C-alpha cells in the first residue's frame, strides 16, 4: 500500500488513464524487488539495472492488456522471470528498447553498410535516426550516450552533470517514447520486439 493508500489495482487503473504519478508509485513499490531478482540472476549490478529497466518498460507497455482480476505482483514476477530467461538465451547480449536495430544503426554509423541487406539496413537506420531526432533533447542525449556509445551510468552522470536517478529516469522515458514512435511506423516489424530485450527484448 502506497503513502496515498492506493492498491496495486488502483494504481494500474490510474496508469491506464496516463497518470504518471501512479506509474512512479509502482516503480517505487516494486523496483527494488525486481532489481533483486535481476541481480540474483545476472550477478552483475549494472547488468541487473539494465535488465530491470527492460522489465519495467515491458510492464509499462503491457498495462493495457493487464487482467485486473490477476494479482499484480504475481503478474510482475512472471514478466520478470520470462525477461531473465530471454536474457540468458541471448547470451548476455546488450539490449535497448528497440532491440538489436539500434545497435545495427550504430554499426552502420561506424563501419558503413555491407552489400548484404544494405537496403533494409539503410532504411532501418534512417527510420531510427528520424525517431531519435524527434525525441526531446534531454532524452535523446542520454540514449545516445547509453545505447549507442555504451557509456556507463556513472560516465553519463559525470558528462551531463546530472544525478544518477535523473539519468535512469530519462533513459527509461526515452526508450519508451522511441519504442512508441517505431511501433507507429512499423507496427508489424520486429524492431520493437522485446521491451525487455526489446525493451525489452
Angle 58-164-151 (CA atoms, 0-180°, nearest 5)? Answer: 80
Q: Which CATH code for domain 8-89?
A: 1.10.1740.10
Domain extent listing, the chain? 8-89, 100-192
pLDDT band of residue 52 (cuts 50, 70, 90) is: very high
24, 6 contact by CB (below 8 A): no
In angstroms, rounded to a whole number, what is the distance separating the alpha carbons of residues 97 and 100?
A: 9
- The pLDDT tens digits for 144-154 are 888 888 888 88
What are the pLDDT digits (tens) for 94-136? 444 444 455 455 554 444 445 445 566 667 777 788 888 888 8
The architecture (CATH level 2) of 100-192 comes to Orthogonal Bundle (1.10)
Strand partners, 195: 200
pTM of the model: 0.51
Higher pLDDT: 58 or 124? It is: 58
Amino acid at each position: 500500500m502506497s503513502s496515498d493508500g492506493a492498491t496495486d489495482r488502483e494504481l494500474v487503473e490510474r496508469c491506464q488513464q496516463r497518470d504518471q504519478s501512479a506509474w512512479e508509485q509502482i516503480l517505487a513499490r516494486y523496483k527494488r524487488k525486481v532489481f533483486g531478482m535481476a541481480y540474483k540472476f545476472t550477478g552483475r549490478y549494472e547488468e541487473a539495472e539494465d535488465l530491470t529497466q527492460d522489465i519495467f518498460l515491458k510492464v509499462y507497455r503491457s498495462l493495457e492488456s493487464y487482467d485486473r482480476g490477476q494479482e499484480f505482483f504475481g503478474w510482475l514476477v512472471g514478466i520478470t522471470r520470462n525477461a531473465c530467461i530471454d536474457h540468458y538465451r541471448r547470451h548476455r547480449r546488450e539490449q535497448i528498447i528497440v532491440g538489436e536495430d539500434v545497435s545495427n544503426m550504430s554499426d552502420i554509423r561506424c563501419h558503413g553498410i555491407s552489400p548484404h541487406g544494405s537496403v533494409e539496413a539503410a532504411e532501418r537506420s534512417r527510420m531510427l535516426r528520424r525517431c531519435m531526432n524527434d525525441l526531446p533533447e534531454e532524452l535523446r542525449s542520454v540514449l545516445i550516450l547509453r545505447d549507442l556509445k555504451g557509456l556507463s551510468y556513472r560516465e553519463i552522470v559525470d558528462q551531463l552533470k546530472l544525478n544518477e536517478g535523473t539519468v535512469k529516469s530519462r533513459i527509461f522515458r526515452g526508450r519508451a517514447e522511441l519504442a512508441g514512435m517505431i511501433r507507429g511506423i512499423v507496427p508489424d516489424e520486429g524492431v520493437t520486439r522485446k521491451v525487455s530485450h526489446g525493451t525489452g527484448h
